[in-house]
Amino acid sequence: MKRRILILLLLTAAVVSTASASSDTTLSGSVSGVWRSGQIITISDRCYVPYGKGLVIEQGAQVIFQTPDAFDIYGDFTANGKEEEPIILSVPDHWEGFHFYPNGEHIRLLQNVVIPWDGPAPHYVVTADSSRLDIFGCQLLAHSSCVTMHAGRLRAEHNHFRSIGLHSATVKLDYLFNEIRRSCDTDEGNYLRDNIIEADVPFQTVWQPEIHFTTALDVSGSSNTCFRRNTFSVRGPGNIYGVYLGDQVVLGPTTWIIDFSVVTLEALGGRPRGVFNSNEGTLDLNRCSIDIEGTYSDLLWPIGVAASGLANVTVNTCIVEIDGGQVFFWGRSGGVVYVKNTVVFDNPGSLVQSPGFPEFSLGDRKQMDDLGGWIAIGRIDTVDPQFVRGTTRGEWDDGPESVYAYYSLRSTSPCIDRGDPLLGYDPDNTVPDIGCFYFSHSISPVGPEPEIVQPVSLVISPPYPNPFNATAVIPFIVGRTGDVRIAAYDVLGRRILDLASGIRSPGTYRIGLDGTNLPSGTYLIGMEFNGVRVATTPIVLLK
């Protein structure tokens, strides 16, 4: 990012020095065609790209908006900057940004578009309704939101988004129901990958109603998006959330996956929540590092991972660190958090109870009541994860490298080789490390050959639908021939139904769960391979 800032300074100087030689243009109203590299385009009044027309902005162009009105885009749009020649936007305070309207199957593109950090902050940058949008390599600054999507399809990769307003949502996604994803391993469908998404709000003393909060990512009604290798960073007063999932999904599977990501919060006298799932679906948090610090009172206690409204969260192979830690996992109103292969750490060394919260400690492997709670379904270690902390926390201007320099693991970390093998082995061919970043083992050229890793024995895919009413389908994959046993258990660990047993050859299978004679509630699907429990996943029955 420092290199990019230097490029911007050089590019701005070059544009100013050659202004007389370039084609400077002042525009308003209907626009289309090509804005060439080196041009300075001034937008003096409300502009729009009409249906049936298109606009291309080439690399190295500079666009100056003198009006706060939105730039409405009905037709085609391509802003195709390059890393070494980005497209620079100069905007006034509270500019309403680009507003994309439906345009069939046409894809609009913003690539290497930059709003300088030290300039005015627009109200919004990108607002899109039922549109298909690609955003790659951009640096966007906003007061309220950098990207707001209503339906449609979004692909965003290698961006740095920053909002600075109280109660802002840096990225807000509502009802992305097109191109439902089944995996993060393809380029189809909706995805956010390798982005830094942050809200950095100055301290201010204002009344903070419970329903208002500042968040890096706010998603409603969409369970078809890949969230992988992102950094969600929030610093500010009042209620702050790293990731908030709200509203029940109306189309597609009710399953989320966030993996290989960092959630980092700094509370400035407020209530921080790392990840909060309240959408009545299932969220899988795999290989994530959650870190919360700052100032907060007994009445505004921090929470690492929360679930409410019949939502479920499974925390697997994650680190949850809270300075002055009070509640690492929390379920309410029927929400349940399932935890396994996870490290939790409270820097001051004590778990402080919050007023009015049911008393529990990490020694209680099951904390459940009618209002929700959390269940340990695997190992939980209370130990310092030993982050390298090689840069300043919260200062991510150098991009992903600065995040890695802080949250990578020391060679003595207890998280190394302690993760869930079913999530896949690390690139150095070792058992996965706990947390977002793995520690790379050096292999001597004269040392022994690395051990050949056996195929994963049994992998369970998310059951669907979840929650279910009468019947559900449970997909699973057998990696090598062996004795497979699958059963349903209640939250107390009692076996309720046997679903499958016997020798299975490698392949993909599906079995049914009939809940006709079962009461409503949360159940656990447990899987054994050759007599060893290898996987557990929750499912909710609603009648």
Q: What is the pLDDT of residues 493-513, one digit of tens each?
A: 778 889 988 888 877 788 888
Name every residue whose Cβ is closer than 8 Å to that of residue 501 and which is 6 or more positions away in sequence: 483, 484, 485, 486
Of 523 and 183, the one with more pLDDT = 523
Is residue 245 within 8 Å of 279, Cβ to Cβ? yes
Q: What is the DSSP string of 185-203?
A: SSSSSEEEES-EEEEE---
Which residue do the tokens 């390298």 mark? 388
What radius of gyration, in Å, describes the C-alpha atoms of the chain? Answer: 25
Least confident of 195-199, 253-257, 368-372, 497-501: 368-372
Asked, for residue 473, whether it belongs to a domain, the answer is yes
486 close to 446: Cβ distance less than 8 angstroms: no
Which one-letter DSSP state was computed for residue 483? E
pLDDT of residue 13 exceeding 50, the answer is no
Does 530 fall in a domain?
yes
Q: Would you say residue 245 has pLDDT above 80? A: yes
Under 8 Å between Cβ of 180 and 191: no
pLDDT bin (cut points 50, 70, 90) of residue 12 is very low
130 is a domain residue: no
Give the Cα separation of 420 and 284 in Å (integer): 13
3-class secondary structure for 297-365?
Answer: CCCCCCEEEEEECCCEEEEECCEEEECCCCEEEEEECCEEEEEECEEEEECCCCCCCCCCCCCCCCCCC
| Strands laid side by side in the 507-514 sheet | 458-460, 471-478, 507-514
CA distance 402 to 440: 18
CA dist 515 and 543 (Å) reads 9
pLDDT confidence tier of residue 396, bands split at 50, 70 and 90: confident
Sequence-separated (6 or more) residues with CB below 8 Å from residue 188: 179, 181
Tens digit of each residue's pLDDT (9 = 90 or more) over 311-349:
889 999 999 998 876 678 888 777 888 899 999 988 653
Tell me the CB-side half-sphere exposure of residue 91, using CA atoms within 13 A: 28
pTM for the whole structure? 0.77
d(CA 139, CA 115): 6
Nearest to 151 by CA among 164, 133, 163, 139: 133
**446 — pLDDT class (breaks 50, 70, 90):** very low
Query: For 421-434, what is the HEC assignment?
Result: HHHCCCCCCCCCCC
Does 11 or 197 have the greater pLDDT score?
Answer: 197
3-class DSSP assignment, residue 403: helix
Residue 445 pLDDT grade (very low, low, confident, very high; cuts 50, 70, 90): very low
Q: How far apart are CA 521 and CA 524, in angstroms?
A: 10
Q: Which tops the pLDDT comparison, 287 or 382?
A: 287
471 assigned to some structural domain: yes
Nearest-angstrom CA–CA distance, 55 and 77: 5
Task: Give the separation between CA 124 and CA 140, rounded to whole angstroms.
Answer: 10
pLDDT at 211: 61
Q: Does residue 522 lie in a domain region? A: yes
Q: Which residue has the higher pLDDT, 12 or 295?
A: 295
The parent domain of residue 486 ranges over: 458-541
Task: Report residue 139 CA to chain centroid gap.
Answer: 18
Q: Which of 7-21, 435-449, 501-515 shows the lowest per-residue confidence on average (mean pLDDT)? A: 7-21
Average confidence score pLDDT of the chain: 81
Which of these ranges, 60-74, 87-101, 529-543, has the smallest mean pLDDT?
Answer: 529-543
Tell me the CATH number at 471.
Answer: 2.60.40.1930
Asked if the structure places residue 384 within a domain, the reply is: no
Residue 316 resides in a domain: no
Question: Are 342 and 434 a contacting pair, CB within 8 Å?
Answer: yes
- Tokens (6 digits) for 110: 């913003």
Average pLDDT over residues 219-227: 79
**Straight-line distance from the first to the last Cα atom of the chain, in angstroms, rounded to the nearest whole number:** 52
Pairing of strands 303-308, 271-278: parallel
The number of beta carbons lying within 10 Å of the beta carbon of residue 68 is 16
Under a CB-based contact definition with an 8 Å cutoff, are residues 117 and 162 in contact? yes
The Cα–Cα gap between 216 and 197 comes to: 6
Q: Total domain count for the chain?
A: 1
Asked if 295 and 325 touch (Cβ cutoff 8 Å), the reply is no
Q: Using 50, 70 and 90 to split pLDDT, how confident is the model at 362?
A: very low
Q: Is residue 381 part of a domain?
A: no
Half-sphere exposure of residue 466: CA atoms within 13 angstroms, side-chain side = 29
What is the tens place of the pLDDT at every residue in 421-431? 888 888 877 88
What is the SS3 string spanning 461-476?
CCCECCCECCEEEEEE
Closest of 249, 261, 256 to residue 289, by C-alpha = 261
Angstrom CA distances, 439 to 410, 421, 429, 523, stand at 7, 15, 11, 35
Query: What does the pLDDT read at residue 17?
Result: 34
Position 351 scores a pLDDT of 37
Determine the pLDDT at residue 65. 96
